[in-house]
Amino acid sequence: MSEFILVALAIFVIYRIAMQNRATKESTVPRQRPDTRYGTKVSETTPFIRTRATGDIIMDERNKLFKIKGVNFKVFNYEDLIKYEMNEDGRSITSGGLSIGMAVVGSVFGPLGTFMGGVTGSKKSKDIVTDMHIALTIRGENKGYYKISFINKKTKRNSKEYKKQLELARETLGMLDIMTDEVK
**Tens digits of pLDDT across the chain (184 residues):** 677 777 777 787 777 777 666 544 433 333 333 343 444 455 556 788 899 998 889 999 998 999 998 887 788 999 999 999 999 998 888 777 654 433 343 444 444 444 444 444 443 457 899 999 999 999 988 889 999 999 999 999 999 999 999 999 999 999 999 888 888 7
Residue 86: closest CA among 171, 153, 25, 159: 171
If residue 95 lies in a helix (H) or strand (E), which one and from where to where?
Answer: strand 91-97
Q: Do β-strands 34-35 and 81-88 pair in parallel, antiparallel, or remain unpaired?
A: unpaired
pTM to 2 decimals? 0.62
**Orientation of helix 110-119 relative to helix 160-183, angle to 10°:** 90
Angstrom distance (rounded) from CA 33 to CA 30? 10
Angstrom distance (rounded) from CA 83 to CA 147? 12
Q: Is 119 helix (H, G, I), strand (E, B) or coil?
A: helix
Angstrom distance (rounded) from CA 167 to CA 57? 14
